[in-house]
Amino acid sequence: MMENLTVTTTLTLSGLNFPFVHRIIIFVLILLCYLLILLNNFTIIFVVINDKKLHKPMYIFLCNLCVNALYGSVGFFPKFLVDLVSSHVISYAGCMLQGYVIHSSNCCDFSILLLMAYDRYVALCRPLVYQSLMTKQRISVLVFFSWLVPLFCMFMNSASLLGKKLCGFHINKLYCVNLMVANLLCSPPKVNNIIAMFNIGLYFVHFLLVCYSYVYLIKMCLASAQMWKKFRQTCTPHFICLLVYATTLLLDLLYMRFGSADLSIHLKNFMTIEFLIIPPILNPLIYGVQLTHIRNSILSYFLSKKKVQSF
């Protein structure tokens, strides 16, 4: 049996089996989405870094959320844009790297959303000790681990698949994910299943903690009109972004686990990439519109530019 195995260095991806003209149209649409993601997220990052009034925990966490959106988008959009005008293949090493970036970015999102929920809990429920709890040193540590833990967890997941022989070469998706790579292995390692289940459990707990935090905050803030006003002003964007991200990610997970072969190719493609497009575009817009300080800082920057140009 071992003699019949071949070392597979190139994998094929699926989902682009339609005329080249249609692929060009999709290329333009995806490119516009990617440019919008870059513009929206870079704007928030630039504003937070340059406005000292925004050097506060909530905005620092928001800045990291935008950085993570850029990191995750790099793992998908450039490769997908190339695939739309060329062959839809990827090297084994490139597949593992793409899967790692997309997976770790998703996990970083949950970690950062958890930090944002914790920050709002302390700000609204324990305002007297907020300054002593959310110090620069503590924020630095929290941000560091919100990146380190997901990057390490996903590295262990991907590392457990490296060096294994493949008995297949086709991934039934627009991009690589570790689960589908594992399904191609001749003998999937048990350690990968253990690590994958641990990671799923860990970030499901993250999700439950974030949900519990907002449910608790809503319950506490409803008792006071002033507290409810503060909740609407500072927590509404976080809550909306959580719902958007969780919904889009859930659709992809449900399709990957229980997807039907009867679905149209366009619906399949949308369900596999919507969580890579919708949250990175909407999150900066939601925060930019809802958070007064962010909105005012953006407006003041562009207004000052116009005044300088008028002179």
Helices and strands counted in the chain (H then E): 12, 3
Structure tokens at 134: 């959310």
Is residue 187 pLDDT above 90, yes or no? no
The pLDDT of residue 6 is 42
pLDDT tens string 248-272: 777 776 666 655 556 667 777 777 8
Phi, psi torsion values for 6, nearest 5 degrees: -120, 150
The pLDDT of residue 72 is 93
The pLDDT of residue 98 is 92
Segment holding 126, helix H or strand E: none
Structure tokens at 117: 């929920």
Residue with tokens 């686990």: 257
| CB within 8 Å of 308: residues ≥ 6 apart | none
DSSP 220-268: HHTT-HHHHHHHHHHTHHHHHHHHHHHHHHHHHHHHHHH--TTS-HHHH
DSSP 54: G
Rounded CA Rg of the chain: 22
The pLDDT of residue 45 is 92
For the chain, the domains span 2-310
Task: Tell me which residue of 235, 254, 258 sits closest to 246, measured CA to CA.
Answer: 254
Alpha-carbon distance of 265 to 173, in angstroms, equals 11
pLDDT tens string 76-93: 999 999 988 888 888 888
Residue type, 89: V
The CATH architecture to which 2-310 belongs is Up-down Bundle (1.20)
Cβ(244)–Cβ(277) below 8 Å: no
Is residue 124 pLDDT above 60, yes or no? yes
